Structure 1
Amino acid sequence: MAKSQQTFNKSEKEKKRLKKREDKRKKMEARKLEKEANGGTGGIPIAYVDFNGNLTDTPPDPTQKIEVEAENIEVSIPKTLPGEKVEFDPIRKGKVSFFDSSKGFGFIIDAENNEKYFTHVSGILDEITENDNVQFELEKGQRGMNAVKVKQA
């Protein structure tokens, strides 16, 4: 006589699968009944924004409504007026605090904000030594800002 192919584990998995399907069907029916009990409004509730910008479930008071013209809304940086002139000088001044010509690098202290910037021999235009007053520009490097186009002031 042949042995049945149905094992205990297989039958348990089948029972769990059928129970899960039945639970899902019952939940769906319960949602349908709840929707019918609420008068058919089972959708997403409407949210309103009051005059302070907070979300509420009640509509805002129309007397506190403020009219805003589309031209007055600024999304970006405001443009400069024709009479205004923005002065930005990329050339900075500083003093060489350390420079090793054999290794090819050094550091410059900015005169405005006393920040220390790394400089490499490839970014130096004139020959510099320690305590020289120099002019330079800044460039983003791997570890921060680097002084480039360095020349004596």
Structure 2
Amino acid sequence: MAKSQQTFNKSEKEKKRLKKRDEKRKKMEARKIEKEQNDGSDNIPFAYVDQFGNLTDTPPDPADKIKVKAKNIVIGVPKQEDMDEEEFDPIRKGKVSFYDNSKGFGFIIDIEDQEKYFCHVSNLIDPIEENDKVEFELEKGPRGLNAVRVKVI
């Protein structure tokens, strides 16, 4: 006689398939009963957003509506305005917080605003080491402001 083709794994898959079918049928019947109880009216609850951005179940008051002209809407990122030369001191003072000679870069902390600026070996006038007091200028780089023309005080 030949061995049965019904394995444990096949029977488990069949049980899962039948269970899934039964659950789907029960859900469908529950939806039908719920629809009959609501008298067939499809009342879908609405959610409104008030002027503060909160979700509410009451519609907003038309008197509170603000009209915005299409020409006043700015699409995109506004351009960064250049700093005035009078407010901006081109030569800054700082302290070298980290510098690696083998890799050729480091970071300088500005004394005035405690900001950290990147410094590359190509932008050095004098050789620097950690904890040196330096003078430098700022220049916009690909990832933000960089310290350039760095010299030891």
Q: TM-score normalised to the size of structure 1?
A: 0.55
By how many angstroms is 1:137 displaced? 2.5
Q: Distance in 2 between matches of 1:79 and 1:123?
A: 25
Q: Considering only CA atoms, is the larger Rg found in Structure 1 or Structure 2?
A: 1
Matched residue, 1:136 = 137
Give 1:65's aligned amino acid.
Answer: D
Q: Distance in 1 between matches of 2:108 and 2:3?
A: 88
What do residues 43-98 of structure 1 show as CA deviations (whole Å, max 9, x unaligned)?
Answer: x5321122333211221233x42332225556655997xxxx85054833326779
Give 2:42's aligned amino acid.
Answer: T
Is the CA contact 1:97–1:108 (under 8 Å) kept in the aligned structure 2?
A: yes
Name stretches of at least 5 consecutive residues in structure 1 with no aligned partner: none
Is the CA contact 2:95–2:111 (under 8 Å) kept in the aligned structure 1?
A: no
Matched residue, 1:69 = 68
User: How many pairs align?
Assistant: 142
Matched residue, 2:147 = 147
Is the CA contact 2:138–2:147 (under 8 Å) kept in the aligned structure 1?
A: yes
Q: Secondary structure at the match of 2:2?
A: coil
Is the CA contact 2:105–2:121 (under 8 Å) kept in the aligned structure 1?
A: yes
By how many angstroms is 1:110 displaced? 4.1
Q: TM-score normalised to the size of structure 2?
A: 0.55
By how many angstroms is 1:3 displaced? 3.7
Is the CA contact 2:93–2:133 (under 8 Å) kept in the aligned structure 1?
A: no
Matched residue, 2:50 = 50
Q: Secondary structure at the match of 1:94?
A: strand
Percent identity for Structure 1 against Structure 2: 52
1:118 to 1:29, Cα distance in 2 relative to 1, 3 A: closer
Name stretches of at least 5 consecutive residues in structure 2 with no aligned partner: none
Is it true that 1:41 corresponds to 2:38 in the alignment? no
Matched residue, 1:16 = 16
Is the CA contact 1:137–1:150 (under 8 Å) kept in the aligned structure 2?
A: no
Root-mean-square deviation over aligned CA pairs: 4.7
Q: Distance in 2 between matches of 1:90 and 1:34?
A: 73
